[in-house]
Amino acid sequence: MGVSIEGSSLTLTGIAVRGLAAFLLWLVLSVSADARGTGYVFVSHERTNNVAVIDPKQDYQIIKWIPTSHRPRDMKFRDDHRQLLVACGDDDVIDVIDLSKLSVVDHIPTGPSPEMFELSIDESSLYVSNEEGSSVQQISIADKVIVQEIATGAEPEGIAVAPDGKTLYVTSEVTDMVHVIDLAEGAVTDNIVVGTRPRRFLLLPNGKELWVSNELSGQVSVIDRATNQVSATIDFLPTGFRQVDVTPVGMTMTKDGSTAIVTLGRANHIAFVDTATK
């Protein structure tokens, strides 16, 4: 499941998670001040191969189902919210949804099992983690050509682009590492050992810290980007739950960057973390 929200603002007033596989949830809180913003919420459904379009103004009703390629998951807005890109793992493509038509208008081929992706700073390229290919690809969106492919550890998933666009970070679920990739060199230049089964990233607004959710060790590792070292570890243990059930994956933050929001998987809880004090 993936969630994207289009519009001018989002107010988080409260979250109740019960009986939900929260470890499958990641939020892309994409904020646009543009008048074209519809305010719709887009949810990818990997088992039914659709993206649901939800209108908060109509009591959060699903107003349309957009058929996609197989196993849609990660999603990103592009082109000033004119497009929604959707990674479809079983068909090895990124679907392109035209938001004025609410339909898929194009497909961008990828490597095997695209898990997650990010856009380059100028939005001309995609950086795609191919879970079954143990690689990251840079793909030109305009001509759908692979610009470069970089080998990673097994089962790469999470992917993040540094604010200057020169460095890429990729999690390897099997090696318990974060790979640091120099995009100009097209090579891994450092490996950072984190917790067990690292999944997703959260880059803090100051650009100095990169957080990594470690699903099976129940922690979040805080990486100092200046040194490529783990500077802190955040642990979670909601009252009444076993440590084994605390499986953090999805992360996002409030608009001002003061609070991180972390899904805790089988514990069916969401944690709110002060990003300053941790």
Supply φ then ψ for residue 24, to 5 degrees.
-90, -5
Which residues are paired to 67 by β-bridges?
A: 50
The confidence score (pLDDT) of residue 17 equals 35
- Residue 179, classed as helix, strand or coil, is strand
> Which overall architecture, per CATH, does domain 73-274 show?
7 Propeller (2.130)
Rounded Cα distance between 114 and 89, Å, is 5
The confidence score (pLDDT) of residue 81 equals 85
User: For the chain, which ranges sit under pLDDT 70?
Assistant: 1-38
The confidence score (pLDDT) of residue 154 equals 95
* Angle at 85 (CA atoms; ends 258, 269), nearest 5 degrees: 40
248's tokens: 């953090």
The confidence score (pLDDT) of residue 25 equals 38
Judge if pTM exceeds 0.75: yes
Residues 6+ apart with CB under 8 A from 48: none
* Amino acid at position 175, single letter: T
Measured over the CA atoms of residue 125, residue 183, residue 28 and residue 218, the dihedral's sign is positive
Q: Which residue has the tokens 């191969």?
A: 49
Give the rounded percent of residues in the chain with a pLDDT score beyond 90.
69
* C-alpha torsion 55→62→73→39, nearest 10: -10
- Residue 265, classed as helix, strand or coil, is helix
The confidence score (pLDDT) of residue 4 equals 52
Which residues are paired to 209 by β-bridges?
A: 224
Q: Specify whether the CB–CB gap between 126 and 77 falls below 8 A.
A: no
* C-alpha torsion 229→207→261→95, nearest 10: -100
